Structure 1
Amino acid sequence: MDRRVREPIYDIAHLGHVELLTPAFDESLWFFTEVLGMEEVARRGGSAYLRAFGDYALYTLKLTAADRAGLGHIAWRATSPAALERRAASLEESGLGEGWVEGDLGHGPAYRFADPDGHRMEIYYKTEKYRPPEDLRPALKNQPQKFPARGVGVRRLDHVNLKALDIDANSGFLRDRLGFRLTEEVRLDDGRQGAAWMNVTQKSYDIAYGGIDAAGIGGRLHHVAYALDSREYVLRAADIFLEEGIFIEAGPAKHAVQQTFFLYVYEPGGNRVEMISDIKLLLDPDHETVTWTQAEREKGQAWRTIMPESFFTYATPLPEEAPDG
């Protein structure tokens, strides 16, 4: 019996930022700044760079004007310059590497690549840490920025969730090439992976492939999630969305998988955004993957909440707007 255990890879530190594309730039910017309470730290060309008050880096959201909604790219920060080089070499070997690019605002050189489904990603190490202006300086020096007391008041970027054509291939790629750990999954009756949740931090997940893309389109976004401090903040967010005329798709309620408390809305550009609390920590270094059957998944969420059909079918860009559409 082969008792060898492959040494885990700890080269990726965390999710750095996400670029969202929007065909309604001004309205989307209003949503993230005035409704979610994020701060705009810079504007370059057709992009605005935004941060939540608990993010240590300069920004975690790049909002870019485009002719369709969807994902621009996902950026992961490496744990060291050497870690960045190791992962770049592994990605180059995989055949899915795109090469080095000069750093965007707030970070140094990055290695670009795509997962098997075509979601564009990059890894970087050098980053600019946020230094607040006087009016945003917190009373407690161990907090990056004072609480904005505006809108929802999201604390930090939490995770990104993607649609994929072959979840086994995509989750396997992130595990083999970047060191992600599979924490929970759904296995369909035919044996395929129907969904996968993976982490690189001690949070129970940093990225998910939330379902097979029934539209047959690669590279689509299900949602990006920002964390709030408690369920009460999520409940207050629902009231704020109601007052501001933001479409609430699902929640507030509790997920069965990962047990997070959730609320899903669509921002004006069409991308789905999740408010989340009750994030689990996984401290076990050899945590065993939790596998849910198709029948268990179909029972609904933790309190038997049944999600609307759009939750399983809607993703951006829309089928008629997809690049190959």
Structure 2
Amino acid sequence: MPDRLITHLRHVDLAVPDFDKQVTFYEDLWGLTRVADDSGVVFLAAEGSPEQYIVRIRKAEEKRLDLVSFGVATPADVDTLAASLGSRLISEPGKIDTPGGGYGFRFFDIDGRTIEISADVSARAHRKIEEREAIPVRLSHVVLNSPNASATRDWYTEHLSFALSDTLSHPHIGDVMYFMRCNPQHHSLAIAQGPHASLHHASFEMRGIDEYMFGTGRLMRAGVRKIWGPGRHMAGDNTFSYFFDPHGNTIEYTTELELLDEDTWHPHIYDFSEPEVTDQWGTANPMNELVAKESFNDVDRGLFVAPPM
């Protein structure tokens, strides 16, 4: 097994100007549960996940990605990672004052995003998602745009021990995405080549194919802008339906993401120009330059600027 300390993805935190519209969308349409409020900040959980929350929304003058949070097993692991990251620290390891508490710290990654590492966060009471209940079970993965994706891939490999699962490449433009894992799940993180650093998309796991399709249909009927899907990727073998949230962040419903035997797995390089690579089923709208650009997102205003909370 790989020698790593990070165990899983915890939550993705967003800051937005139209706070009420964003919260209403994630509650009423996307299917998350509001679990806590704190003066212009809302914490949203997935009913099937033991994480206290998987999305945090904060009211702000400018849209930004506040942070991405990963879990480790023990406070000692928190301290070990903090010591290894040194000058990149935003905060020293200590008590976390958010739902579930815990012990952790924050730092800037190579592109200037704020990353949080935590342990000892108390588990939330959660439940089994029922048949045809089309709400997220958990946060599946997050994909980040980088103007130098290979350097960002190498940084996460060297400093946080993420492993490369697969690569998407194109015969004319080179590598376009690196799928990175911190556990047997095919990817908890992916790095996409983009014109600037930003959130590419956040993905939410559904119970199964039926629930994934019912959720996709609910959003389409509600007039939410669908970018791409429904379909099934080759890398990761997962389903996909991508939508815009009210502030233009791309979010995904998915299910059946591949679990790997890490002792025997060898990374593939998939040719992104082949239609079956982007969508094995052939049911999604074609992947083209316009669809790709939709997930470049706005330039992130939070780079090398720590969120206020």
Does the CA contact (< 8 Å) of 1:11 and 1:179 recur in 2?
A: yes
Return 258-267 or 301-310, whichever deviates more. Answer: 301-310
Q: 1:212 aligns with which of 193, 196, 203?
A: 193
Is it true that 1:111 corresponds to 2:78 in the alignment? no
Q: Give the aligned partner of residue 137 of structure 1.
A: none
Q: 2:164 aligns with which of 159, 174, 182?
A: 182
1:232-289 per-residue CA deviation (whole Å, 9 max, x = no partner) reads 2121112211222211111111112222111011111221110001211012324211
Closer, same or farther in 2 for the Cα pair 1:148/1:72, shift >3 Å? farther
Does the CA contact (< 8 Å) of 2:145 and 2:296 recur in 1?
A: no
Q: Percent identity?
A: 23
What are the ranges of 5 or more consecutive residues in structure 2 without an aligned counterpart?
A: 304-309
**What is the deviation of 1:296?**
4.5
Is it true that 1:166 corresponds to 2:144 in the alignment? no
Q: Could you tell me the TM-score, scaled by structure 2's length?
A: 0.87
**What is the deviation of 1:189?**
5.1
Is it true that 1:52 corresponds to 2:46 in the alignment? yes
Q: 2:265 aligns with which of 287, 307, 317?
A: 287
**Aligned runs of 1:199-278 on 2, under 5 Å?**
199-209=181-191, 211-214=192-195, 217-218=196-197, 220-278=198-256
Closer, same or farther in 2 for the Cα pair 1:299/1:281, shift >3 Å? closer
The code of the aligned residue for 1:276 comes to: T
1:281-303 per-residue CA deviation (whole Å, 9 max, x = no partner) reads 01232421111246548974324
Q: 2:291 aligns with which of 269, 290, 311?
A: 311
Q: Secondary structure at the match of 1:110?
A: strand
Q: Give the aligned partner of residue 19 of structure 2.
A: 25
Closer, same or farther in 2 for the Cα pair 1:170/1:298, shift >3 Å? farther
Is it true that 1:68 corresponds to 2:46 in the alignment? no
1:117-154 per-residue CA deviation (whole Å, 9 max, x = no partner) reads 122101011202214xxxxxxxxxxxx23648998311
Aligned length, in residue pairs:
299
Return 75-84 or 62-71, whichever deviates more. Answer: 62-71
**Whole-angstrom CA distance in 1 between matches of 2:142 and 2:190:** 7
1:183-203 per-residue CA deviation (whole Å, 9 max, x = no partner) reads 001345589643100111211
Is it true that 1:99 corresponds to 2:91 in the alignment? yes
Is it true that 1:126 corresponds to 2:120 in the alignment? yes
Q: Secondary structure at the match of 1:291?
A: strand
1:39-72 per-residue CA deviation (whole Å, 9 max, x = no partner) reads 1110012110010111102111111122333311
1:60-88 per-residue CA deviation (whole Å, 9 max, x = no partner) reads 11111223333110011111122111111
The code of the aligned residue for 1:266 comes to: F
**Whole-angstrom CA distance in 2 between matches of 1:187 and 1:227:** 25
**Whole-angstrom CA distance in 1 between matches of 2:248 and 2:173:** 33
**Whole-angstrom CA distance in 1 between matches of 2:277 and 2:129:** 39
The code of the aligned residue for 1:19 comes to: D
Does the CA contact (< 8 Å) of 2:272 and 2:278 recur in 1?
A: no
Q: Give the aligned partner of residue 307 of structure 2.
A: none
Question: Over aligned residues, Cα RMSD in angstroms?
Answer: 2.6
The code of the aligned residue for 1:171 comes to: R
**Whole-angstrom CA distance in 2 between matches of 1:309 and 1:191:** 12
**Whole-angstrom CA distance in 1 between matches of 2:114 and 2:200:** 14
**Greater Cα radius of gyration, structure 1 or 2:** 1
Q: Give the aligned partner of residue 134 of structure 1.
A: none
Q: Secondary structure at the match of 2:90?
A: strand
Q: Secondary structure at the match of 2:135?
A: coil
